[in-house]
Amino acid sequence: MFPVNPKPAPNRAVAAVPEDWRVDTLAATPKAEPDAGLESLFGADGALAACLENFAPRPEQLAMAQAVAAAIREGRHLVVEAGTGTGKTLAYLVPLLLAGQRSVVSTGTRTLQDQLFHRDLPMLGAALGRPARVRLLKGRSNYLCHYRFEQLAGDDRPAQVTAATLRRVRDWARQTDSGDVAELTGIPEASPLWPRITSTADNCLGTHCPFLGECHVARARQAAREADIVVVNHHLLMADLTMKEEGFGRLLPGAEAVVVDEAHHFPDVAQGFLNLTLGAGQLLDLAGDVRAEALAAGAWSTDLGAVVDQLDTATRSARAGLQGAAQELDWDAAGADFQAALEVVTDDLDTLAGELEPLVEYSSGLARCRERAASLASSARRLLDAPADEYVRWVRVTARGFNVNATPLDASGQIHALLESQASTWVFTSATLAVGEDFTHFTGRLGLGEVATRQVPSPFDFGRIARLYLPAGLPDPAQPDYTDRVIDAVLPVVAASRGRAFLLFTSHRALRRAAELIRAVPDFGLPLLVQGEAPRSRLLDEFSRRDNAVLLGTATFWEGVDIRGHGLVVVMIDRLPFASPGEPLLAARLQAIRNAGGNPFRDYQLPQAVLSLKQGAGRLIRDYSDYGVVMLCDPRVQSKSYGRVFLRSLPPMPVIRELAEVEDFLAACEARA
């Protein structure tokens, strides 16, 4: 092992924990001070050391735990950036368990949700002697909907769903306790089955559903309300804050503490929930549900069929008027024809709501369809009338549909009001929240104003185990041969590392060109894995399985990838990750900053790019025994004054500028490994 840091590898849980630890009826656990005995707990002879293999005290982890404990004790909000290797999950979970408060923990990824629920919380509950009732709660689309499944099973036209598949679902439905569709393995994620047997906020009948007593969503949410700690994702948290999960009771009232992990995603998720939206999928689903409900209730008629057909036709006509696919268009670029088609859709929704009015007594399903038609008509009108000084209107075009959006130019006030509407202590944490030492970009997007912040550095010794390579002689990224020159520069680095490299790009065009250039190299001789040529999970599995692969990726590989050990020793980033100002939402946001007297580049583009770069560079060092080189090709990091902001925000790696230095460093690391 590379002897550069005396600290052992991160902990692995080894304590035996009862399988039913989450649901035992426990004697009331008395509340305690959240910082009581933290130094002892995180010490070499503490409770954590007793149940974690190779545990060693980390001053950084203790410092974060103390900051979280103080926030909980004093009832004040906290924003804390914890560098890679801090062990931030234990640093906030221990104070939560010690405080004995009802809490919600929100994450950005399913991976972290599973880790918290299946590993960290049971291990800590046993280690601290403070077991807690914990529930992992997912969005409603993750649970079987009895009502929709019965509709599907009774439909004599179950398109693209085989009888064998239906039998398999029915057999599973009879025996499942949770109704979690993840139990139905072997059915592709893209299968048309899933939307037919799960519900959405639009089509759920809520308390009017005839299957309410058996509803898996209602049961899961009831169990969550009775839990001490609920683990959710950011989307479900925002749905609860904005009351978009009506009919099942809310989670947050009564929660004394809310921890938002992977918080760098949260501002975008929150903003998305404040959008005004209308999607072709919603419209076509409504048309299909009206048909199914009316046929099942014996209320189908020629007149109703004509109105349903009109809505279906108008929606498809609106999509046909949009040129191209999988792109974003501002409102004007979408064109007058599309806007006129949206007016027709709105009128058709009104007509449909009127046609359904006398049919609401036939069934709860038809009553819900009428509500949906009226609600979608209202949304369409608000989109058409959204004031330009408050919203930016834009259209996302997909292969078969579209989504019309009106996004608030500044949602910080609304987000702040939502957060403050809860009598909770909020803790936001991530490895990438600050620009340098400044948190104002993150806190400003949430409208937090004056809030306690804390920056906890990584315990990794970057000065010894990592280098930042800034190759000399590369042209400005605007030059047409820039990607060609980048590949010329990275090939000898990849040769020195014997593969084991991530090559990260800021655009799909650059990625495709890079793949073409590398494949043209005679005797390249290393496995080349390219985003888009296989699913992300398969590419990562293949990279981990081999010991000499080179992976080419764009945004989806810049974060959420945790490759530990010596299988990844080079991370190349082709250019500084500034978002394209041509994107309609970004362009409008920048103009709004300009109109308010701000500087769009300084106030938004630069901090966003810095945080993205920190995420990309963070793929390299994930463990104490890791080593490697971050290769940043963009010469602007050296030639432009703002380059210093990027460099100050990266981990403290020595900068090297010569290929020979890269080769010598990697060779020395390899010799000691």
pLDDT tens track for 612-659: 999 999 999 998 889 999 999 999 999 999 999 999 999 999 999 999
More confident residue, 535 or 514: 514
Cβ atoms of 62 and 36 within 8 Å: the answer is: no
Among candidate residues 200, 235, 214, the one with its CA nearest the CA of residue 368: 200
Among candidate residues 576, 643, 641, the one with its CA nearest the CA of residue 615: 576
More confident residue, 4 or 338: 338
Per-residue confidence (pLDDT) for residue 31, from 0 to 100: 53
Q: Is residue 532 part of a domain?
A: yes
Q: Can you give the CATH number for the domain in which 97 is found?
A: 3.40.50.300
Q: Is residue 7 part of a domain?
A: no
Phi first, then psi: give them for residue 485, nearest 5 degrees.
-70, -35
Cβ atoms of 104 and 426 within 8 Å: the answer is: no
The confidence band for 243, taking pLDDT boundaries of 50, 70 and 90, is confident
Tally of structural domains, the chain: 4
**273 contacts: CB under 8 Å, gap ≥ 6:** 235, 238, 239, 241, 242, 244
Cβ atoms of 279 and 420 within 8 Å: the answer is: no
Q: Give pLDDT tens digits for 57-113.
A: 999 999 999 999 999 999 999 999 999 999 999 999 999 999 999 999 999 988 889
The confidence band for 164, taking pLDDT boundaries of 50, 70 and 90, is confident
Average pLDDT over residues 333-362: 94
Point out the least confidently predicted range of 12-26, 345-359, 432-446: 12-26
Check pLDDT > 60 for residue 246.
no
183 and 96 in one domain? no
Mean per-residue pLDDT over the chain, rounded: 88
Check pLDDT > 70 for residue 3.
no
Per-residue confidence (pLDDT) for residue 457, from 0 to 100: 93
DSSP-derived pairing of the beta strands 655-656 and 466-469: parallel
Domain housing 193: 142-211
Per-residue confidence (pLDDT) for residue 235, from 0 to 100: 93
The confidence band for 24, taking pLDDT boundaries of 50, 70 and 90, is very low
Per-residue confidence (pLDDT) for residue 254, from 0 to 100: 79
The H or E element containing residue 406 is strand 402-408
238 and 200 in one domain? no
Q: Would you call 317 exposed, middle or buried from its count of C-beta atoms within 10 A (0-12, 13-18, 19+)?
A: middle
290 and 390 in one domain? yes
3-state secondary structure of 108: coil
Q: Give pLDDT tens digits for 584-608.
A: 888 888 888 888 889 999 999 999 9
User: How far is 468 from 462, CA to CA, in rounded Å?
Assistant: 10
371 and 324 in one domain? yes
419 and 379 in one domain? no
Check pLDDT > 80 for residue 300.
yes
Average pLDDT over residues 167-189: 88
Per-residue confidence (pLDDT) for residue 36, from 0 to 100: 63
Q: Would you call 570 exposed, middle or buried from its count of C-beta atoms within 10 A (0-12, 13-18, 19+)?
A: buried
Per-residue confidence (pLDDT) for residue 245, from 0 to 100: 55
Per-residue confidence (pLDDT) for residue 560, from 0 to 100: 80
Q: Is residue 232 part of a domain?
A: yes
Per-residue confidence (pLDDT) for residue 156, from 0 to 100: 55
More confident residue, 13 or 193: 193
Strand blocks (E) in 470-564: 501-504, 528-530, 550-553
Q: Is residue 467 part of a domain?
A: yes
Q: Which residues is 394 bridged to in the sheet?
A: 330, 405
Q: Is residue 155 part of a domain?
A: yes
DSSP-derived pairing of the beta strands 402-408 and 276-279: antiparallel
If you count them, how many residues does the chain have? 673
Using the structure block, give the residue that is written with the tokens 């190349």: 572
DSSP-derived pairing of the beta strands 257-260 and 570-573: unpaired
Q: Can you give the CATH number for the domain in which 403 is found?
A: 1.20.1440
Q: Which ranges of 498-535 would DSSP assign to H, the alpha helix?
A: 508-519
Check pLDDT > 80 for residue 385.
yes
Per-residue confidence (pLDDT) for residue 20, from 0 to 100: 32
More confident residue, 306 or 15: 306
User: How far is 509 from 302, CA to CA, in rounded Å?
Assistant: 51
Q: Interior CA angle at 501 toward 500 and 506, to 5°?
A: 165
* Cα pseudo-dihedral 633, 638, 643, 649, rounded to 10: 70
Identify the DSSP state of 298: T
Check pLDDT > 50 for residue 5.
no
Write the DSSP string, 147-198: HHHHHHHH-S--TT--HHHHHHHHHHHHH-SS-BGGGSTTS-TT-THHHHHS
Per-residue confidence (pLDDT) for residue 159, from 0 to 100: 56
CA 344 to chain centroid: 35
338 and 288 in one domain? yes
3-state secondary structure of 423: coil
180 and 198 in one domain? yes
Q: Is residue 49 part of a domain?
A: yes
User: How far is 639 from 632, CA to CA, in rounded Å?
Assistant: 13
> What's this model's pTM, rounded to 2 decimal places?
0.88
Phi first, then psi: give them for residue 304, nearest 5 degrees.
-65, -40
516 and 476 in one domain? yes
CA 397 to chain centroid: 21
Average pLDDT over residues 474-501: 96
Among candidate residues 653, 614, 554, 617, the one with its CA nearest the CA of residue 432: 614
Check pLDDT > 60 for residue 11.
no
Give the number of other Cβ atoms within 10 Å of residue 180's Cβ: 15
Q: Interior CA angle at 195 toward 194 and 199, to 5°?
A: 115
Cβ atoms of 64 and 82 within 8 Å: the answer is: yes
User: How far is 92 from 104, CA to CA, in rounded Å?
Assistant: 12
262 and 126 in one domain? yes
Write the DSSP string, 32-85: --TTTTHHHHTSTTSHHHHHEET----HHHHHHHHHHHHHHHHT--EEEEE-TT
Cβ atoms of 61 and 42 within 8 Å: the answer is: yes
The confidence band for 2, taking pLDDT boundaries of 50, 70 and 90, is very low
Give the number of other Cβ atoms within 10 Å of residue 612's Cβ: 21
What is the maximum alpha-carbon separation in the chain? 80
Cβ atoms of 408 and 268 within 8 Å: the answer is: no
More confident residue, 10 or 364: 364
Average pLDDT over residues 338-364: 95
305 and 357 in one domain? yes
Per-residue confidence (pLDDT) for residue 8, from 0 to 100: 36
> Rg (Cα) of the chain, in Å, rounded?
27
Mapping DSSP onto H, E and C, the string for 426-477 reads: EEEEECCCCECCECHHHHHHCCCCCCEEEEECCCCCHHHHEEEECCCCCCCC
Q: Is residue 50 part of a domain?
A: yes
Among candidate residues 304, 309, 281, the one with its CA nearest the CA of residue 293: 304
User: How far is 219 from 177, CA to CA, in rounded Å?
Assistant: 10
475 and 599 in one domain? yes
User: How far is 464 from 459, CA to CA, in rounded Å?
Assistant: 12
Per-residue confidence (pLDDT) for residue 16, from 0 to 100: 33
Average pLDDT over residues 36-47: 88
**What would the two tokens of residue 539 be?**
């590419």
388 and 350 in one domain? yes
User: How far is 460 from 650, CA to CA, in rounded Å?
Assistant: 13
Among candidate residues 423, 454, 442, the one with its CA nearest the CA of residue 65: 454
Cβ atoms of 325 and 399 within 8 Å: the answer is: yes
Q: Is residue 393 part of a domain?
A: yes
3-state secondary structure of 9: coil
